[in-house]
Chain A
C-alpha cells in the first residue's frame, strides 16, 4: 500500500477495536443509536447532517458512506447538494465572523 485513504479501508472501520475493544464497542453502540434509528430526527435527516459534516471534515470514507446512506434513506441529489452548501456556508461564515476579532484587535492597536 502506497497511498493514504484507500477506499477498501472503509470496510475495516471495525478494526478500530484492535487494542481498545471495549472503547470501540461503546463507540459503535453510540454510533448505531444516533445514526441508525428514527428519533426526533429521521434517519434521512441524520444522514444529510452526516453528509454535510463529512464534507466539512473532508473525510473521503464518510463522503462515500453517507452518499450511499442518503440515497438509501430516500434523499435525492438536490437535497444532498444543499446539505453540502450548508457545510460550505457555515465554514465561510465561521471564517468571516472571525474578522470581528480582527477588527477588535485593529481598534486596540491603531492610534
Chain B
C-alpha cells in the first residue's frame, strides 16, 4: 500500500507583521489601565460610509441586549478606575436603550462620550422613522461630550465618503448643536470633530487641519467646535474592500509600514481602554471587535462583560495584527486623534 504523505504548508508570513515589527524594535505594549469602557451599542446606522470599519448600515440589526447594558452599568458602578464611557456604533442613538443608558451612566458621575454622526438628528431611525431631532437638547441636558465625524470642511470630500447630501445635513446638525451651546467657548459642552482621509493616504498634521476647519466652518457657515481629531483609515472591512478593488492595498500597507512611529506605538489606545461588542464580548479596540479578534485572559479563558473581572482583563495580552499599523503610522491614530 502506498503511503500518502500530506504536505501541510504553513501560511506565508505577512509582509506587514505588526508583532514582528514590535519585536524587532524591542517594543512591548502591555495594557496600562482600563480608564475607558467603549461600548458598541449597535451596527445599525442611518448612513453607509464607504470607509466604515463596522460595515454599519440601515439594514443591520445587531444590538446590545438589555442584560448587556445592565452589565455595563454594573461594571462602571463597581469600578471607579473606569472613569469614561465611550458610546459608539453604528449610530448608537438608534439603540432603544440609548437614552436611559446615558442618563444612568451620567448619574454615576462618569464622563460620557457619544460618537454622534450628526445626520441622525435629521434622518431619524431608518427602520421605524422615529425622530431624533431632540438629540442636541438631550446631549446638553446630560452634558455629554459629542464627537462627530466630518471628513472635511467641504462638501466634495465629505459626500464622497459619507454619501450624497451628508455635508449639507452635517452643517445643519452642527448649527443645532451650536444653538444649545455645543462647541461654544465657556459653555462646558464639548463638540469635537473627527477628520479621516478620503482615501489611502495619511492625515495631515492635526493642529494645522484644526485651524483650517475652524476658519472655514466659521467663515462659511458660522459654526464653532472645540477640537479636531485626525484618524487614519484602517485597512479592514469596507475600506479594505475598496483598497482591494482599486488595487491599492499593497501600496497603502507599504505606506503605513514606512511611516511606523515608535512614539505612536507606545500611545496606542488599546493600552488604556477596552471595547465591548453587541454580544457582550470584550476586545482590545473597536477595530479588533469588527475583525472578531476576541481577547483571552492570561490562562486563555474568554473575556466578556458577563463575568467581568478587572484584574483578569487588565492582565490580558493585547492582540495585534497587520491593521494595527494604521494606529502607529505618522503622528499616530486613536479615537482621540493623533497620539504622537
Within B197-231, the residues touching A (CB, 8 Å) are: 197, 199, 201-205, 208-209, 212
Q: Which of B152-185 contact A (CB under 8 A)?
A: 152, 154, 156-157
Is A68 in contact with chain B by the CB < 8 A criterion? yes
What's the interface size class on A, roughly?
A: 10 to 19
Q: Which residues of B contact A68 (CB under 8 A)?
A: 201
> Is A71 touching B201 in the complex (CB atoms < 8 A)?
yes
- List, in ascending order, chain B residues with CB within 8 A of A42's CB: 208
Question: Is A71's CB under 8 angstroms from B197's CB?
Answer: yes
| B156 contacts across to A, CB distance below 8 A | 76-77
Q: Which residues of A contact B203 (CB under 8 A)?
A: 72
How far is it, in angstroms, between the C-alpha of A48 and the C-alpha of B47 when the chains are bound? 34
Expressed in whole angstroms, the Cα–Cα distance for A35 and B163 within the complex equals 35
A73: Cβ under 8 A from any B Cβ: yes
A38 to chain B, nearest CB (A): 9
- The reply on A46 being an interface residue by CB < 8 A is no
Q: Are B209 and A74 in contact, with the CB atoms below 8 A? A: yes
What residues of chain B have their CB less than 8 Å away from a CB belonging to chain A? 152, 154, 156-157, 197, 199, 201-205, 208-209, 212
Q: How far is the CB of A99 from chain B (nearest CB, A)?
A: 38
Complex contact A72–B208 (CB within 8 A) = no
Residues in A neighbouring B197, C-beta threshold 8 A:
71-72
Instruction: Kindly list 4 other residue pairs between chains A and B, CB separation below 8 angstroms, not including A71-B199, A74-B208, A77-B156.
Output: A44-B208, A72-B204, A76-B154, A78-B154
In the complex, how many angstroms separate the beta carbon of B256 from the nearest chain A beta carbon? 13
Contact digits for A56-77, partner B, Cβ 8 Å, 1 yes 0 no = 0000000000001001111011
For B208, give the chain A residue with the smallest CB separation.
A74
8 A Cβ contacts from A44-101 to B: 44, 68, 71-74, 76-78
| Contact A72–B201 (Cβ < 8 Å) | yes
B residues in contact with A44, CB < 8 Å: 204, 208
Q: Is the CB of B201 within 8 A of A74?
A: no
Bound Cα distance A44, B203 (Å): 13
Residues of A near B201 (CB, < 8 A) are 68, 71-72
| Bound Cα distance from A78 to B197, whole angstroms | 16
13 contacts between A and B (CB under 8 A): A42-B208, A44-B208, A71-B197, A72-B202, A72-B203, A72-B204, A74-B204, A74-B208, A74-B212, A76-B152, A76-B154, A76-B157, A77-B156
Highest count of chain A CB atoms <10 Å: which of B154, B199, B204: B204
A45 shortest CB reach to chain B, Å: 11
Nearest-neighbor residue (CB-CB) of B209 within chain A:
A74
Task: Collect the chain B residues with CB atoms within 8 Å of residue A77's CB.
Answer: 156
**Least distance between A48 CB and chain B CB atoms (Å):** 13
Distance to closest chain A CB from B138 (angstroms): 34
Distance A74 CA – B204 CA, assembled complex (angstroms)? 5
Interface centre among A71, A72, A74, A78 (most CB of B within 10 A): A74
Q: Choose among B156, B201, B209 the residue with the greatest number of A CB atoms under 10 Å from its CB.
A: B201
A71 to B209, CA, bound (A): 11
Q: Nearest chain A CB to B25's CB is how many angstroms away?
A: 22
Q: How far is the CB of B17 from chain A (nearest CB, A)?
A: 21
How far is B195's CA from A51's CA once the two chains are assembled, in angstroms?
23
CB A72 to nearest CB in B, in angstroms, measures 5
Chain B nearest CB from A12 CB (Å) reads 13
Residue of A nearest to B197 (CB): A71
Closest to B255 in A: A68
Report the bound CA distance from A30 to B154 in whole Å.
Answer: 35
CA distance A77 to B212 in the complex (A): 15
Least Cβ–Cβ distance between A65 and chain B, in angstroms: 11
Q: What is the distance, in angstroms, from A26's C-beta to the closest C-beta of chain B?
A: 22
